[in-house]
Amino acid sequence: MWVQEQILGDVPVLEPVTLLTYAAALTSKVHLGTSVMLTVVRNPVQLAKSLATLDQLSNGRLIGGAGVGAPHIPEAVFGVSSERRGRRFVEGLQVMKSLWTQPRASMSGEFWRFADVAMEPKPAQKPHPPLWLGARDALALKRAARLGDGWMGAGSSSTADFIKQTELIRRFLDEERRDRDKFVISKRVYLGIDSDRRRAERRLRDWFGMRYKNADMASRVSIWGDRTECIDKLGELIHAGAQHLLLNPVFDEMELMEVLASDVIRKL
């Protein structure tokens, strides 16, 4: 079960850690993920505590998705600088990992400095919950290969984009001497299943216009059509290297969840 993060905006989106904690109390088996948290505008010490708590309460079912975010993210509203975003992102991950894995953590970086700091309890998962990093350009993909436990291809990228990015992430994994089998390649897919293709595309465009203020993005990045066509297009992503698909219907959600569970996923 996956949620997104959007702290600011006129579209109603609940805060992800709070929402997943609620979901954890109502479930017992499903994994709980964020796609993705913009950790550059969060305090990594407080976030480490919140995520460790969620992992404990869910008995180790958390997947932490993290990303730098797009250039339009208003860091100033959160009281942080827009400069050196990549470095701040990396240091924030280092802060969280140290607090999760060390009995007494120390950090001497550009943005955070502390020594002999304890944080208990640690996450239920060892050494820590998996961190899947969102990325699309070469620099961010290289960072994901170096620091992440997985990579999440953006829902705002097309299948052609994903294929090129997958080739890059594999190359970077090899350069970092990472084991490909221990690194997850994932892709968010905005999906519209309808026997009437034009209607499916129109409804996707309506949703993208409301959610992202960009209806044209829907036609560029989404998958839509009848079940057979959608299965074929999802199969292209799997053939390209996707080991995990985050399927995101944007209309008739409950009905399409049943279709996905009973037919589409089984055939994939």
What's this model's pTM, rounded to 2 decimal places? 0.94
Q: Is the pLDDT of residue 150 over 80?
A: yes
- Going by pLDDT thresholds of 50, 70 and 90, the confidence category of residue 138 is very high
Instruction: Please give the sequence-ordered ranges of beta strands (E in DSSP) within the chain, or none if there are none.
Output: 2-3, 32-34, 37-38, 62-67, 105-108, 113-117, 131-134, 150-153, 184-193, 223-225, 244-249
The predicted pLDDT at position 200 comes to 97
- For 64, the 3-state DSSP assignment is strand
Query: What would the mean pLDDT of 104-113 be, rounded to a whole number?
Result: 96
- Going by pLDDT thresholds of 50, 70 and 90, the confidence category of residue 146 is very high
Query: What would the mean pLDDT of 106-134 be, rounded to a whole number?
Result: 97
Domain 2-188+241-252 has CATH 3.40.50.10800: no
Residue 65 φ/ψ, nearest 5 degrees: -100, 135
**Distance from C-alpha of 92 to C-alpha of 98, rounded to nearest angstrom:** 10
The predicted pLDDT at position 75 comes to 87
**Distance from C-alpha of 98 to C-alpha of 118, rounded to nearest angstrom:** 10
The per-residue DSSP string of 69-128 comes to --TT--GGGGT--STTHHHHHHHHHHHHHHHHH-SSEEEE-SS-EEEEE---SPPSSSS-
Neighbours of 54 (CB within 10 A): 24
Query: What would the mean pLDDT of 169-180 be, rounded to a whole number?
Result: 97
CA-to-CA separations, 4 to 17, 19, 47, 52, 221, in angstroms, rounded: 10, 10, 16, 19, 17
The predicted pLDDT at position 120 comes to 98
* Domain limits, the chain: 2-188+241-252
CA-to-CA separations, 250 to 71, 134, 170, 210, 213, in angstroms, rounded: 25, 21, 30, 11, 15
Nearest to 145 by CA among 183, 114, 113: 183
First to last CA, the chain: 19
Query: What would the mean pLDDT of 67-94 be, rounded to a whole number?
Result: 90
The predicted pLDDT at position 81 comes to 87
pLDDT of 180-237, one tens digit each? 999 999 999 999 999 999 999 999 999 999 999 999 999 999 999 999 999 999 999 9
- Going by pLDDT thresholds of 50, 70 and 90, the confidence category of residue 136 is very high
